[in-house]
């Protein structure tokens, strides 16, 4: 199929994995699973754990609202003992008994649903209206905002709160934990096919989607756009992501390992020559070695639209097609 050719079009100069190594010669699925367990443990210890036992969250559901293409409602989901995070749920007009669903990540819910609802970061850029486009294609969609949006007007207001309450928990560690709680809600909906749940995000939202996928097997297929896949590519050292430790000598974790933890679930990286570029192929190629162990080398790919950081329509249509193929068409085959 034409779209599959686009995501496997590796430039000749980047058809290798550079210095990134995941799979040793003679590696098998069994040896990889043992190695990946150690990688997961190392990452989890670095990201940290909430200082409370995981719980079954409570939900506060708003009234249904009618749109031209969907029904929607605000849903607050308990992510901490005393805190409920804001999400927005969209369901298609023609709801089936069981529907594929996508968890979409971004700063706030507004941009992803294409409506200025008073959030802090609405951008009237239709190529970022991921949730609106996905629900038009028949997906149930839940938008999860970046949790720092709930505290103050500046990034560092949220950082100060988390550092005070959860000093051993990295920002993306909390995102992964919170996404688990949101998925608890999404998978509880009777009209959601729990075997066909995806994730999608752009920029900061791409980082959120990547880590949510790595640490929750319920996510079966993922699209991330312009997140900057390598830890050296952009501001992963910011205190709301991973922190300054990643710049210290001897730090040996990087996101090719996160991609390895996602294997063999389908993942598409969309680049624009801003946060991600052709060098991002090194990360994809390293992870492909893991995917190849499962006979699914084509389940991970990269498409570079070369148009900068803002999502490009053709690229995002490719992302929607990716999710439709692996969730709505193949579904339980994954």
- For the segment 297-310, the average pLDDT, to the nearest whole number, is 95
- For the segment 7-20, the average pLDDT, to the nearest whole number, is 87
Q: What is the pLDDT of residue 332?
A: 41
**Can you give the pTM of this predicted structure?**
0.95
Task: Give backbone dihedrals phi and psi of 46, rounded to 5 degrees, phi first.
Answer: -70, -45
Q: What is the pLDDT of residues 125-145, one digit of tens each?
A: 889 899 999 999 999 999 999
Residue 70's DSSP bridge partners are 92
Estimate to the nearest angstrom the gap between the alpha carbon of 85 and the chain centroid. Answer: 17
Q: What is the pLDDT of residue 117?
A: 81
What are the structural domains of the chain?
A: 2-333 (3.40.50.1820)
Higher pLDDT, residue 31 or 5: 31
Show the CA angle centred on residue 78, arms to residues 75 and 80, nearest 5°: 150
Q: How many percent of the chain have pLDDT more than 70?
A: 97
Distance CA 20, CA 284 (A): 10
Query: Is the pLDDT confidence value at 297 over 80?
Result: yes
Q: What is the pLDDT of residues 86-114, one digit of tens each?
A: 999 999 999 999 999 999 999 889 999 99
Task: Give backbone dihedrals phi and psi of 275, rounded to 5 degrees, phi first.
Answer: -80, -35
Higher pLDDT, residue 284 or 13: 284
**Which pLDDT band, with edges at 50, 70 and 90, does 329 fall under?**
confident
Q: What is the pLDDT of residue 155?
A: 72
Which stretch of 40-44, 52-56, 68-72 has the lowest confidence by average pLDDT? 52-56
Distance CA 205, CA 128 (A): 11
The residue length of the chain stands at 334
CA distances from 154 to 34, 64, 83, 159, 217 (A): 42, 31, 19, 9, 33
Which stretch of 149-163, 221-235, 260-274, 307-321 has the lowest confidence by average pLDDT? 149-163
Q: What is the pLDDT of residue 259?
A: 98
Q: What is the pLDDT of residue 168?
A: 92
């Amino acid at each position: 199929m034409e779209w599959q050719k686009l995501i496997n079009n590796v430039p000749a100069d980047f058809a290798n994995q550079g210095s990134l190594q995941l799979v040793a010669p003679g590696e098998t699925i069994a040896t990889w699973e043992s190695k990946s367990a150690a990688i997961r443990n190392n990452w989890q210890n670095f990201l940290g754990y909430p200082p409370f036992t995981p719980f079954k969250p409570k939900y506060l559901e708003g009234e249904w609202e009618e749109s031209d293409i969907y029904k929607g409602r605000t849903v607050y989901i308990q992510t901490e003992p005393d805190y409920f995070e804001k999400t927005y749920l969209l369901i298609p007009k023609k709801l089936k008994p069981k529907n594929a669903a996508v968890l979409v990540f971004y700063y706030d819910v507004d941009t992803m649903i294409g409506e200025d609802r008073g959030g802090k970061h609405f951008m009237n850029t239709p190529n970022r209206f991921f949730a609106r486009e996905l629900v038009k294609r028949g997906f149930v969609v839940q938008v999860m905002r970046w949790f720092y949006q709930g505290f103050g007007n500046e990034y560092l207001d949220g950082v100060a709160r988390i550092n005070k309450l959860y000093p051993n928990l990295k920002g993306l560690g909390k995102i992964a934990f919170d996404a688990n709680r949101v998925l608890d809600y999404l998978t509880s909906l009777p009209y959601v096919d729990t075997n066909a749940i995806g994730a999608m995000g752009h920029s900061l939202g791409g980082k959120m989607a990547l880590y949510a996928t790595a640490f929750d097997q319920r996510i079966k297929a993922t699209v991330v756009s312009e997140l900057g896949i390598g830890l050296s590519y952009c501001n992963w050292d910011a205190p709301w992501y991973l922190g300054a430790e990643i710049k210290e000598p001897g730090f040996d974790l990087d996101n090719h390992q996160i991609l390895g933890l996602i294997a063999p679930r389908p993942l598409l990286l969309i680049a624009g020559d801003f946060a991600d570029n052709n060098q991002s192929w090194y990360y994809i190629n390293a992870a492909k070695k893991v995917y190849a162990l499962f006979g699914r080398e084509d389940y991970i790919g990269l498409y570079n639209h070369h148009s900068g950081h803002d999502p490009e329509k053709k690229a995002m249509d490719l992302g929607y097609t990716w999710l439709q193929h692996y969730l709505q068409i193949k579904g339980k085959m994954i």
